[in-house]
Amino acid sequence: MKKAKKLSAVFLAVCVALVIPFASFNVIAAAPTAVCTVEVTEQNAGTENYCVAADVTFESEYEFTAGLFTVEAENFAISDCTVKSAVGGEAPEVQFEADTGRVIFTGFSNSEQNDFRSYTSLTLTVKLNPNGGQTGNEIKVAVKNINIANVDEVKFITADAEGTVQAAHNHTVGDTFEKNETYHWKVCTTCQAEVDKAAHTFDTAVTSPTCTAGGYTTYTCTVCGYSYTGDETDPTDHTLGDWLTDETNHWKVCSGCEGIFEQAAHIESDWIIDTPATTEAAGHRHKECTVCGYHTAEEDIEKLSGDHTPGDINNDGSVNNKDLTRLFQYLSDWEVEVNAAALDVNGDGSVNNKDLTRLFQYLSDWDVEIF
């Protein structure tokens, strides 16, 4: 405060020294060409205190070195004043009196205060806090009693400058969030300000892929509910069961989606001997689908008569290599005619490769018995 009063006294002394000689000789200084503007740049609302920031700008075709002015804002007091920009020289020293609202700036360049910095444009940022009164519906920041001076003459600016802003207030917001891809916020119903703006905080939920749809991850903000999906994956393969059949077709069913796949008509095989006919009992044979195994046809084989020539497989009345070939074909599931009574060549009650070997031995003049 002492420094502010000292600077004020210096400034007034300069003003008096410059003005009195002109007054004594009835010389009127040139009309003021400097202007002052006020722009309210910020209005922050909190739960207890409010802060309004205003830019006070002086511009002149004349260079000026010092000045003083008074800031008036009903129910508000100055809490800080800083230099925002200065054109023409280094930033001046600034002092303010919170109780009176008076601001003084001086461009003294050294401690002796006999050398000055000069400016053609200067902007000061004044911050105001409420001093306990009601703020009303709007805040008016006025700059009055404006004086600026240089070392040659004093320039008076008689026109006041002012700026207004909507009254500081506790924001009133509802339950609905505004949102975009990055942030969420609420809007004050009084001033339309964005309140409680913050980045999304996401929870994740993974949806696994199926055989009919790909998988993905759902990201949902825990505060505002904004959500999006990402991290997509391809569908899985179908899980197919065993063959299902009817008289005409075969197919498989997916256990996941229950869709029908690989449906096609049966492909029929040759006759397959299930039970050879003997002299004791009839036999049995069938045809089946070579893909799914479905039996497409079945029939009995007639019981054989008891009379036969041992080893006469093809029933032509003689025993030779033709019978060996016919037995081989029969055992290889060829569809050939055979003398079923002669098939059990070794007489062990079954027909298999042992019978083929016994017949080969017999035809090779081995000392073996055939039946």
pLDDT in tens, 357-368: 999 999 999 999
Distance, CA of 118 to CA of 243 (rounded, Å)? 98
pLDDT in tens, 305-328: 667 788 888 888 899 999 999 999
Distance, CA of 59 to CA of 57 (rounded, Å)? 7
Residues with Cβ within 8 Å of residue 235, at least 6 apart in sequence: 209, 210, 211, 212, 213, 214
pLDDT averaged over every residue in the chain? 78
The burial class, CB within 10 Å (0-12 / 13-18 / 19+), for 254 is middle
Domains of the chain: 2-166 (2.60.40.680), 178-233 (no CATH), 238-303 (no CATH), 307-371 (1.10.1330.10)
pLDDT in tens, 100-124: 888 888 887 654 555 678 888 888 8
pLDDT in tens, 17-55: 433 333 322 233 444 456 777 777 666 544 344 567 788
CA-based nearest residue to 291, from 266, 271, 270:
266
Checking if the pLDDT of 133 tops 60, the result is no
Residues with Cβ within 8 Å of residue 36, at least 6 apart in sequence: 56, 57, 58, 69, 143, 146, 157, 159, 161
* Arithmetic mean of pLDDT, 74-93: 83
Confirm if 52 and 141 have CB atoms less than 8 A apart.
Answer: yes
Strand partners, 206: 217
